[in-house]
Structure 1
């Protein structure tokens, strides 16, 4: 089965879509064929939403099996179809998908996230939270992908950053790229512990790294 695609006619699929173990969020108007493939590959229910009228759902949302976080005071069209509670995250850094990397047990967040935001993430997602960077990048939500089986992160991640991630998530962490060498792996990859989808420009070699890192081999 082909595991690469475009969303909104773009290979930067992580900006437009996001997923947890049970749901995948895509922009309203995503073609039925794309939704069907995504649902099959992630073994998740696919829900069409708009956040504040925007299609960059992946950049604006981050969730896990316990909750979904969006920018404070957001309007979420399609929220009634989301099977977990949706909460607004306080603070000025409100592209939640860009600044939070999370699975069901842990979260690494942008180093400048406020104490109130960090506390809210821990409480609402029910995870251990630490501030940090990946490859010196503060937008950790796009610099990596975390599932309940493993992490794939920016190839520029330092040994110290990798150590922090392994300790925090208590999972294997590997480095890789998507979309023919893009180091912001989270911009070109959507994954949970059941499956993954990569951007259309992702090479076979890159797919091999993804499968290895996230435990699909």
Structure 2
């Protein structure tokens, strides 16, 4: 089955969609064929939503098996279809998909997130939360992808960052790209422990790297 797609006619699928072990959130109006592909490959229920009227669901939301984080005072159209508890995150950094990298055991977050925000993330996702960067990049949610089996991160990550991430998540961490060399791997990859889907411009070599990093080989 083809593992590369577009969402909203864009290969930057991580900006438009996000997933956990149980659910994938996509923008309202996503093609049925795309929703079916996501559902089959990730083995999840696919729910169409809008966040504050917008389609960049992947940039604005982040979750794991325990909860979905959304911006403060967010209006979520389609919220009633989401079985997972929803938590609003306080503070000014509200593009949560960009600033939080999480799986079911840990979360790496933007270094400028407030203590209150971190407490909310810990409580909602039920994980250990630490501030950090990947390749010096603060928007860690787009600089990496984390599942319960492994992580793929920006190829500019330093050895000390890699060591820190491996220790935090307790999982192997590999470096790679998506969409023909894009270093912000989270912008072109949606994954959980059951499967993955990459942006349409992702090469065969990149797909091999993704499969190796996330434990699908």
TM range (shorter): over 0.9
The Cα of 1:180 is off from its aligned counterpart by: 0.2
Q: Which runs of 5+ in 2 are unaligned?
A: none
**Alignment pair present for 1:19 and 2:19:** yes
- Paired residues, what number? 217
What's the counterpart of residue 138 of structure 1? 138
Q: Deviations over 1:36-86 (max 9, x none)?
A: 011001000000000000100000000000000000010101111111011
What's the counterpart of residue 47 of structure 1? 47
What's the counterpart of residue 105 of structure 1? 105
The Cα of 1:120 is off from its aligned counterpart by: 0.6
* 1:137 partner SS: coil
Q: Which runs of 5+ in 1 are unaligned?
A: none
Moved over 4 A (4+): none
How do residues 35-184 of structure 1 correspond to structure 2 at under 5 angstroms? Answer: 35-184=35-184
* 2:196 partner SS: strand
Q: Deviations over 1:143-197 (max 9, x none)?
A: 0000000000000000000001000000000000000000000000000000000
Separation in 1 of the partners of 2:156 and 2:53? 34
Separation in 1 of the partners of 2:35 and 2:76? 19
Separation in 2 of the partners of 1:87 and 1:75? 12
Separation in 2 of the partners of 1:93 and 1:56? 15
**Could you state the TM-score of these two structures normalised by the residue count of structure 2?**
1.00
What's the counterpart of residue 187 of structure 1? 187
Q: Deviations over 1:84-142 (max 9, x none)?
A: 01111001000000000000000000000000001110111000000000000000000
